């Protein structure tokens, strides 16, 4: 049985998406696949049990038999952390993870282990990624999300420093078009010369980072002013309507499938948004819009949400979840899998794991 520990330097880099894409690729090659998230800082309640949100989602996609809470053996809740720090728990956490690994890997050809939010996590409970990966003889794959040129290089080198010989390779994810030349022509050769195996460079596709209207509703807890809208419609960009109506219209025309965040009293901005490709209107300050605007949004199938927070506070709330893609839509998952196939040298990954690509 081979195990691959998928980790990243920072949160929301694409670990879960990569586990899903690779899991399906391995399965399509005829290998049986297991999955485990040894440590989680994202408590999620399912059927009265505390588990991890990502683990519960991966279980559905990879059609695993285990219960969701069996796929995330150590979930750090505030109560658990306090008890652990006070020495009130005597449980051997590594032994607990070992038992879960044995169950998740039973009868499987490949076990995917998903790291926590970043390579910084796990030290306080004795389960940092390098220690866990070493414990189970796992190869490590680091997902490095592009943020800017310097941070890309520093993040990649940080992964090598933290993981050492465990690191079988990195995938550079979400590279925007204007950075593609630098990454492929300068960064990749430099990193390869430093001894890093760069398995692929995955371009940014905005629709993959998009939120659905349902995601926005869950994040904002708004009052929903319209009844007729598609809850699965995607929001690819956020636009703040804090300018003149003419300026807003020029900007709005440049962006499709957007959410416009503006004050409930800005009728001019709301009308400009409805003249262009808008998925959702988020009205701030608990200021109710004109009934005529609500009626027009209703007729166009645009979700209109009313929140109590001000505009900047609302933007900050959305940005906390924007880009945290769950790939919940089948089309999004299929798109990411095709990106992996097209842009990642999966043959090198198979070779590093000692697997034959069928």
Asked whether residue 125 falls in the same domain as residue 36, the answer is: yes
Q: How far apart are CA 188 and CA 176, in angstroms?
A: 15
Q: How far apart are CA 89 and CA 96, in angstroms?
A: 13
Residue 328 has pLDDT above 70, yes or no: no
* Residue 249 included in any domain: yes
* Residue 358 included in any domain: no
Residues 329-350, mean pLDDT to the nearest whole number: 88
**Pure H helices in the chain:** 15-28, 53-61, 78-85, 93-105, 129-135, 149-163, 180-182, 188-193, 213-220, 245-252, 267-274, 291-300, 311-319, 330-343, 346-353
Task: pLDDT band for 327, please (50, 70, 90 cuts).
Answer: low
The pLDDT value recorded for residue 300 is: 94
Q: How far apart are CA 42 and CA 204, in angstroms?
A: 25
What is the tens place of the pLDDT at every residue in 265-309?
999 999 999 999 999 999 999 999 999 999 999 999 999 999 999
Cα dihedral 259, 261, 264, 269 sign: negative
Helix/strand/coil for 318: helix
Asked whether residue 202 falls in the same domain as residue 237, the answer is: no
Task: pLDDT band for 326, please (50, 70, 90 cuts).
Answer: low
What is the tens place of the pLDDT at every residue in 114-138?
998 789 999 999 999 999 999 999 9
- Domains of the chain: total: 2
Task: pLDDT band for 330, please (50, 70, 90 cuts).
Answer: low
Asked whether residue 102 falls in the same domain as residue 246, the answer is: no
Residue 325 has pLDDT above 60, yes or no: no
CATH code of residue 90: 3.40.50.300
Task: pLDDT band for 224, please (50, 70, 90 cuts).
Answer: very high
Asked whether residue 306 falls in the same domain as residue 259, the answer is: yes
Q: 55 lies in which domain range?
A: 2-207+325-353
Q: Tokens representing 224?
A: 């929903």
Lowest mean pLDDT among 107-111, 212-216, 325-329: 325-329
The pLDDT value recorded for residue 206 is: 76
* Residue 47 included in any domain: yes
What is the tens place of the pLDDT at every residue in 149-166?
999 999 999 999 999 999
Looking at mean pLDDT, say which of 186-190, 205-209, 268-272 comes out highest.
186-190
């Amino acid at each position: 049985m081979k195990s691959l520990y998928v980790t990243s330097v920072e949160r929301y880099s694409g670990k879960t998406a990569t586990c899903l894409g690779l899991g399906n690729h391995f399965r399509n090659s005829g290998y049986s696949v297991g999955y485990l998230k040894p440590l989680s800082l994202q408590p999620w309640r399912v059927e009265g049990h505390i588990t991890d949100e990502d683990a519960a989602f991966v279980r559905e996609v990879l059609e695993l038999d285990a219960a969701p809470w069996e796929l995330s053996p150590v979930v750090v809740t505030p109560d658990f952390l306090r008890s652990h720090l006070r020495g009130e728990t005597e449980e051997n956490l590594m032994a607990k993870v070992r038992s879960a690994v044995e169950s998740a890997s039973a009868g499987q050809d490949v076990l995917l282990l998903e790291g926590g939010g970043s390579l910084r996590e796990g030290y306080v409970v004795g389960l940092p990624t390098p220690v866990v990966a070493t414990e189970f003889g796992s190869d490590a794959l680091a997902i490095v999300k592009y943020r800017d040129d310097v941070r890309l290089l520093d993040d990649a080198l940080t992964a090598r420093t933290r993981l050492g010989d465990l690191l079988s390779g990195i995938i550079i994810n979400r590279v925007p078009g204007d950075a593609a030349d630098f990454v492929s022509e300068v960064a990749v050769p430099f990193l390869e010369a430093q001894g890093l195996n760069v398995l692929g460079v995955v371009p940014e596709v905005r629709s993959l980072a998009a939120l659905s209207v349902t995601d926005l509703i869950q994040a904002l807890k708004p009052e929903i002013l319209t009844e007729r809208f598609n809850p699965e419609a995607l929001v690819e960009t956020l636009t703040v309507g804090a300018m003149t109506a003419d300026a807003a219209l020029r900007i709005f025309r440049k962006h499709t499938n957007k959410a416009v965040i503006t004050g409930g009293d800005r009728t001019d901005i709301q009308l400009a948004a409805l003249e262009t490709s808008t998925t959702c209107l988020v009205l701030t300050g608990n200021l109710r819009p004109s009934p005529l605007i609500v009626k027009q949004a209703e007729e166009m199938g645009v979700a209109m949400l009313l929140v109590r927070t001000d505009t900047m506070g609302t933007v900050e709330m959305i940005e906390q979840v924007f880009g945290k893609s769950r790939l919940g839509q089948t089309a999004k998952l299929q798109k990411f899998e095709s990106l992996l196939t097209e842009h990642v040298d999966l043959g090198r990954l198979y070779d590093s794991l000692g697997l034959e690509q069928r």
